[in-house]
């Protein structure tokens, strides 16, 4: 990928070259516009100067050469003035040498001419004009004096073009000579402006692999602060992921230590047993221990997946009633074995769109139904009721089990907490997982006693789609 420095220098130089070319073209155009009138003015001044100098035809014929000599003397005397620039003096001589003249009396006879005036007999137009003499173009100016003398001033076109092009060429050279130092200047300035990026890069390079603290924005230019902020946000997400993985490893070690110890004990006991019946009983306990360990791992993985900031970019509109019916169908065999009836009371007519994560919401409903089945006695009913308020959808899971004492209803959402005295096995993670999923969806969860006076009612409230736009923020 091209470096920012090279990109900026190249594009700025292209811009400068474009501006320079525009300046050159403008200079050429306006140069022709301004230099030509000055050259024409010189011819007019020369004509009127000759008219003022001449008295009669004889005087003109006799003293025309003196006039030329005086002009030459003037340019020579300049060498003794403060103008000590030889190039300037040479340029002045060259300019004066380009202007030639002819003087005609009232009868059209040539009475005076400059030594290098063109040889021709054709008449030139009054005022300014152009003539081709001996295949050379001349700019002419003709003045008719009060004595009816004609004074014709000549200047070759090539000399005028030289003067015009010389002035423009010098301007162009000056402009072109500024490009290399300008490029160097741009390179230095841009390099200095990118120092802060290099400093930020060095700071990140020097960091230890486990240092995910945010980068300070104090020395970062405003233009790249959004990039550094996104990097800091990435660090924060990585830190959350690492903490989640670390917690998962710690939780797994903590929760699997007891089941594995029990499995080892059962294996040791089985090794000392002799009858098939005793061995089978011990193997059944080992199988139950494996199931509990497997359930613990599943719950820990589910808990890890439902930690905050996980899958936040996977939200979509989901029908809550459809999820409830799918979960009921999934747990129907388990409920049937325990002689428990599952029912869904959809009061919204299957129109209950939730903006959320589908797998997480399925896990939420599954854990609530699983807990209800585990703690409900046989010949009872577990009802899933879906309703709504003006701003919320409500999902209620109502069972007829022992319920949870009011004093413990806040603690059951803690990780690994289990109510003492229950006969069911578990990890103490189910309601903690449910609580985290509810938080991810900006919802709320409440535990209460069922209306029948026994059992537990779990009420989950989730925002309607028009109110959940902050979920993705």
| pLDDT tens per residue across span 196-217 | 777 777 877 888 877 888 888 8
Under CATH, which number does the domain 314-472 receive? 3.30.565.10
Rg (CA), the chain: 51
> What pLDDT does residue 384 have?
93
Cα angle vertex 115, ends 111, 118, to 5°? 85
Instruction: State the CB neighbour count (10 A cutoff) for residue 141.
Output: 23
pLDDT category of residue 311 using cuts at 50, 70 and 90: very low
pLDDT surpasses 50 at 289: yes
Determine the average pLDDT of the residues in 375-394: 89
pLDDT surpasses 70 at 72: no
> What pLDDT does residue 457 have?
92
pTM value is: 0.46
Rounded-to-integer distance, Cα 344 and Cα 373, Å: 15
Q: Count how many Cα atoms sit within 13 Å of the Cα of residue 122 in the half-sphere of its side chain.
A: 10
**Mean predicted lDDT score pLDDT of the chain:** 76
Task: List the domain boundaries for the chain.
Answer: 4-180, 209-305, 314-472
> What pLDDT does residue 103 have?
86
Q: Count how many Cα atoms sit within 13 Å of the Cα of residue 27 in the half-sphere of its side chain.
A: 18
Do 345 and 324 contact (CB within 8 A), yes or no?
A: no
**Domain 4-180, what architecture?**
2-Layer Sandwich (3.30)
Q: If you average pLDDT over each of 169-178, 291-300, 425-434, which comes out highest?
A: 169-178
Determine the average pLDDT of the residues in 133-156: 86
Could you give the C-alpha distances from 301 to 247, 253, 433, 451, in angstroms and in order? 11, 13, 10, 35
When comparing pLDDT for 330 and 452, which is higher?
A: 330
pLDDT in tens, 4-56: 777 777 888 788 778 877 877 776 677 666 777 878 888 888 888 888 777 66
Please enumerate in sequence order all residues whose Cβ is within 8 A of that of 237, keeping only pairs 6 or more positions apart, or say none: 309
Determine the average pLDDT of the residues in 232-258: 72
When comparing pLDDT for 281 and 310, which is higher?
A: 281
pLDDT surpasses 50 at 420: no
pLDDT surpasses 80 at 330: yes
Instruction: State the CB neighbour count (10 A cutoff) for residue 170.
Output: 10
């Amino acid at each position: 990928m091209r470096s920012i420095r090279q990109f900026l220098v190249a594009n700025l130089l292209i811009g400068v070259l474009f501006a320079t070319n525009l300046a050159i073209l403008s200079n050429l155009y306006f140069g022709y516009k301004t230099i030509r009138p000055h050259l024409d003015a010189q011819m007019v001044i020369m004509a009127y100067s000759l008219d003022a100098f001449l008295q009669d035809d004889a005087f003109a014929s006799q003293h025309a050469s003196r006039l030329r000599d005086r002009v030459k003397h003037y340019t020579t005397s300049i060498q003794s003035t403060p103008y000590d620039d030889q190039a300037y003096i040479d340029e002045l001589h060259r300019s004066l040498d380009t202007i030639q003249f002819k003087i005609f009396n009232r009868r059209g006879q040539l009475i005076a001419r400059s030594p290098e005036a063109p040889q021709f007999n054709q008449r030139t137009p009054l005022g300014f004009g152009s003539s081709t003499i001996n295949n050379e173009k001349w700019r002419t100016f003709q003045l008719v004096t009060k004595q009816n003398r004609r004074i014709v001033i000549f200047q070759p076109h090539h000399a005028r073009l030289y003067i015009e092009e010389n002035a423009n060429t010098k301007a162009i050279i000056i402009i072109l000579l500024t490009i290399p130092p300008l490029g160097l200047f741009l390179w230095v300035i841009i390099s200095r402006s990118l120092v802060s990026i290099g400093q930020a890069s060095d700071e990140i390079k020097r960091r230890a692999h486990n240092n995910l603290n945010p980068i300070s924005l104090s020395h970062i230019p405003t233009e790249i602060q959004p990039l550094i902020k996104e990097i800091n946000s990435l660090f924060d997400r990585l830190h959350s992921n690492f903490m989640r993985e670390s917690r998962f490893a710690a939780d797994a070690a903590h929760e699997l230590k007891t089941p594995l110890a029990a499995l080892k004990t059962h294996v040791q006991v089985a090794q000392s047993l002799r009858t098939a019946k005793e061995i089978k009983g011990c193997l059944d306990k080992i199988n139950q221990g494996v199931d509990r360990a497997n359930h613990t791992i599943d719950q820990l993985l589910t808990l890890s997946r439902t930690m905050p900031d996980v899958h936040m970019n996977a939200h979509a509109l989901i029908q809550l009633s459809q999820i409830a019916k799918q979960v009921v169908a999934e747990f129907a065999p388990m409920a049937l074995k325990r002689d428990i009836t599952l029912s869904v009371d959809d009061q919204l007519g299957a129109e209950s769109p939730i903006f959320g994560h589908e797998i997480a919401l399925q896990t939420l409903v599954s854990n609530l139904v699983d807990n209800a089945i585990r703690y409900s006695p046989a010949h009872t009913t577990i009802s899933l009721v879906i309703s709504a308020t003006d701003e919320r959808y409500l999902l209620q899971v109502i069972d007829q089990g022992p319920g949870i004492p009011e004093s413990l209803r806040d603690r059951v959402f803690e990780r690994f907490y289990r109510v003492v005295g229950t006969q069911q096995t578990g990890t103490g993670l189910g309601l903690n997982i449910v609580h985290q999923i509810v938080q991810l969806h900006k919802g709320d969860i409440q535990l209460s006693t069922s209306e029948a006076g026994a059992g537990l009612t779990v009420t989950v409230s989730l925002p309607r789609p028009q109110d959940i736009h902050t979920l993705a923020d």
